[in-house]
Amino acid sequence: MTMTCTVNSLRFIATVWIGSLFLALMSGCRGDSVSTESLPNETSKVITSNYPLWFFAERLGGDEIEVELPVPTSINPSFWRPDAEDVQEMQRAKLVVLNGAGYEHWLPSVTLSARKLVKTAEPFQAQWIQIETEVTHNHGPEGEHSHTGWADHTWLAPALASEQLRSLSLSMAKAFPNQAAEIEGREKELQVSLSQLSESMTQNLGGYVGQPLLASHPVYQYLGRQLGVELELVEWEPGTTPDAAQRESFEQLLERHPASVMLWQAEPTPLTRDYLETHGVKVVVFETCGNRPPQGDFLTKMQSGIDRLAKALETSP
């Protein structure tokens, strides 16, 4: 009798333990779960993977919440790789804010609790743009890389940046319940600013729907879709002058896609600019703001890009 009771007790304890373990594992696998409970050694820090997300999080958190962007200013966050110390900081952080759509290439190689991850582009996953062909090339100090999978510069479309801001605001309010009201109020102010960017695009560029446009890099897909332009992507780097083969391919592209404006992340070489202008193509620097700008902020840089593009299109034949 005593032995039976002991065996039954052990079975009961084992069942409860296995059930608890199963629930814990399931909870950890849910990417949308943000707990308000702190883990051992957890800080109250919010870590972001690029500058637009840092800008949003810093504005939402005000003076009460520490927000960090660990990527050095000399590196494009798209190709950044966190070192061991960076990963440890993320493991201790309250939230790790990601863009999603494949932007963080390093994510599969690190171990982070799903409960603290905020994948801001996931709510509109159905709107992600797939890159049809894979292109591998060099990108300055970051070395060789390829563009494949999903287009990932979602924030260049203010309409999508607005959804990312909303996702981040909800996660931060849940993680910092004592600041929830302030976070919500600051989100409303930022949403007004993003709405004004969308309105500026419509007012200044709404008359160019269907206009052929060129981009020097495959990062402007979401911007192009919101503008309604016909966008063709070229693989040219700002610091490198295209060679003979690239120029020949470009001239063939112009024959079937007679664009008069080309978007650039940064100023191209003087030889590249001269070559483009000789072929009737104006250079428009539309900064993507992946990392911190030396001056201005996300909103002013976006508006400057809109203004430059509108001016170039206005004066084009």
Query: How far is residue 270's CA from residue 57's CA, in Å, rounded to a whole number?
Result: 38
**Residue 119 maps to a domain:** yes
11 inside domain: no
Q: Are residues 71 and 212 in the same domain?
A: no
Write down which residue in 165, 190, 215 finishes a domain: 190
* Cβ–Cβ under 8 Å, residues 82 and 110: yes
Give burial (CB, 10 Å; 0-12/13-18/19+) of 123.
middle
pLDDT in tens, 90-104: 999 999 999 999 999
Nearest to 194 by CA among 150, 171, 162: 162
Let me know whether 148 and 92 are in one domain: yes
pLDDT in tens, 67-79: 999 999 999 999 9
The answer as to whether 180 is a domain residue is yes
Whether 274 and 149 share a structural domain: no
| 19 assigned to some structural domain | no
Mean pLDDT of 208-233: 97
Q: What is the pTM of this model?
A: 0.84
How many Cβ atoms from other residues are within 10 Å of residue 224's Cβ? 20
Instruction: Find the CATH number of the domain harbouring 60.
Output: 3.40.50.1980
Same domain, 238 and 289: yes
The string of pLDDT tens digits covering residues 19-58 is 433 333 333 333 344 444 555 679 999 999 999 999 999 9
pLDDT value for 40: 61
Q: Which of 314, 316, 285 is nearest to 204 (CA)?
A: 314
Rg for the chain (alpha carbons), in Å? Answer: 24
Q: In sequence order, what are the beta bridge partners of 138?
A: 144
Do 246 and 307 fall within a single domain? yes
| Position 195 in a domain | no
The CA distances from residue 36 to 39, 41, 44, 89, 98, in Å, are: 10, 14, 11, 18, 19
* Secondary structure (DSSP) of 200-211: HHHHHHGGGTT-
Q: What does the alpha-carbon distance between residue 94 and residue 110 come to, in Å, rounded to a whole number?
A: 17
Whether 163 and 37 map to the same domain: the answer is: yes
Supply angle C-alpha 153, 296, 209, rounded to 5.
Answer: 45
Q: pLDDT tens-digit profile of 160-171?
A: 999 999 999 999
User: Residue 163 sits in which domain range?
Assistant: 31-190
Tell whether 101 is covered by a domain. Answer: yes
H/E element holding 3? Answer: helix 2-29
Same domain, 179 and 38: yes
Angle between helices 51-61 and 298-314 (to 10 degrees): 130
Task: Convert the pLDDT of each residue in 132-158 to its tens digit.
Answer: 764 434 444 444 444 468 999 999 999
Whether residues 59 and 176 fall in one domain: yes
**E strands, the chain, where?**
46-48, 67-68, 95-98, 117-119, 130-138, 144-150, 212-215, 230-233, 261-264, 282-285
Residues 6+ apart with CB under 8 A from 234: 214, 215, 216, 217, 250, 253, 262
Using a pLDDT cut of 70, give the percent of the chain over it.
82
State mean pLDDT over 272-301. Answer: 97
How far is C-alpha 136 from the geometric centre of its chain's CA atoms?
20
Q: 175 and 37 share a domain? A: yes
Instruction: For 47-66, write each residue's pLDDT tens digit.
Output: 999 999 999 999 999 999 99
Residue 218's CB is within 10 A of a number of other CB atoms, namely 19
257 within a domain of the structure (yes/no): yes
Distance CA 100, CA 154 (A): 9
Cα distance between residue 200 and residue 223, in whole Å = 13
Domain count, the chain: 2
Asked if residue 10 is part of any domain, the answer here is no
Among residues 159, 190, 221, which one ends one of the domains?
A: 190
Mean pLDDT calculated for residue range 292-296: 96
Domain C-terminal end among 158, 190, 222 = 190
Same domain for 214 and 186, yes or no, is no
Residues 162 and 215 in one domain: no
Q: Does 158 share its domain with 237?
A: no
